[in-house]
Amino acid sequence: MPEAGDVMITRVRFADNEGSRIRPALFLFEEPGNIVIAGITTNSRMKKKGSNHKSRRDCSG
């Protein structure tokens, strides 16, 4: 079983549940019946709908 902080290659479902891809992810923790991960990407323009997160580029002005 992975430990918090481990990087893993896993199948990640798209937010709209219309498919999935094999992607790297950071293992955060496990809870009953669920594994919580954070996706790893080099896409600095990726933004979740409704997110208030701004990239460094967005914050420069």
- Mean residue pLDDT of the chain comes to 78
The average pLDDT across 37-45 equals 83
Q: What is the distance of C-alpha 52 from the center of its chain?
A: 16
The average pLDDT across 35-53 equals 72
Q: How many domains does the chain have?
A: 1
**Is residue 2 assigned to a domain?**
no
pLDDT > 50? residue 19: yes
**Is residue 43 assigned to a domain?**
no
**Is residue 25 assigned to a domain?**
yes
Name the percent of the chain lying above pLDDT 70.
74
Overall pTM > 0.75 = no
**Is residue 49 assigned to a domain?**
no
**Is residue 29 assigned to a domain?**
yes
**Is residue 1 assigned to a domain?**
no
- Tokens of residue 5, six digits: 């902080």
What pLDDT is recorded for position 55? 47
Question: For residue 31, what are the domain limits?
Answer: 7-38
